[in-house]
DNA sequence: ATCGTTCATCGTAAATATACGATAAGGAGG
DNA sequence: CCTCCTTATCGTATATTTACGATGAACGAT
């Protein structure tokens, strides 16, 4: 954003937009799907399933962590990522509330 | 995106990410809310309720139109915007499907 | 026909996002 | 300690987004 105007909006609007932003790239949708297959959680395994370089996947993981949809836990030299189901539920509820208020 | 990699993902992932992108700015969330108050639909009225310049609001409206969440109908010199409830419902369902598949 | 109103689009500047190679940081195992 | 493996971060290039003033296009009214 050019000159930060976000403070002109309500906290709800900003929060919801932020969640949507985290979901606004197919790579991040795919990562969430991969993590929901509880068999896979190691960062390296995720990278293998993605058509992107390791550094790029790491960036997407960081964005998902930023909004709290996933967590990363260090296991020796590896990192095990998992969904934060509480946060996911909250994100779903926020989106649903908006849709209900707005139309359906 | 640097080198377009989106084709590496599934149509579902791309479509969902696209919907999320449309929702990923507080201004656009606010516009949807404003339009759900059926009293307001003229572009000018929307602009007055937004903390942004007319040109910027027009850009946000265009993005919402691009994904089909709203429609614009010319009424003389003015333009009346309204939600596309069918598309909104579809967007909600797509998001819900993802959440259900992924966690909740 | 001219004028004012309304809104989209153009042009542009700055911020942010996306992507990747290279490198750093940390642990495992010799 | 040294090396390998794993992952985050840095540096960087490019694309996209956001924002606004200026301009253009379309219409209604005078």
The CATH architecture assigned to A10-99 reads Orthogonal Bundle (1.10)
More confident residue, A4 or B47: B47
Q: Domain limits of chain A?
A: 10-99
pLDDT of residue A8: 81
pLDDT reported for residue A7? 59
Percentage of the residues of chain A whose pLDDT score is greater than 90: 87
Write down which residues 53-92 in B have CB closer than 7 A to strand C: 54-55, 58-59, 61-62, 72, 77-79
- pLDDT per residue over B57-79, tens digit each? 999 999 999 999 999 999 989 99
Asked if B98's CB is within 8 angstroms of A88's CB, the reply is no
For residue B7, what pLDDT is reported? 57
How distant is C1' of D17 from CA of A76, in Å? 39
- Assign A84 to helix, strand or coil: coil
B77: nearest nucleotide, CA–C1' criterion: D27
- Say if domain B10-98 classifies as CATH 1.10.10.10: yes
Mutation pick from A17, A31, A89, A101 vs chain B, by most beta carbons of B within 10 Å, is: A17
């Amino acid at each position: 954003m050019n000159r930060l105007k976000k403070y002109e909006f309500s906290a709800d609007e900003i929060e919801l937009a932020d969640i949507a932003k985290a979901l606004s790239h197919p790579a991040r949708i795919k990562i969430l799907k991969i993590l929901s297959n509880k068999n896979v959680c190691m960062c390296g395994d995720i990278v293998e399933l993605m058509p992107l370089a390791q550094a790029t996947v790491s960036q997407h993981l960081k964005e998902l962590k930023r909004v709290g949809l996933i967590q990363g836990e260090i296991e020796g030299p590896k990192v095990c990522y998992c969904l934060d189901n509480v946060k996911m539920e909250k994100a779903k509820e926020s989106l649903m509330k908006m849709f209900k208020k707005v139309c359906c």
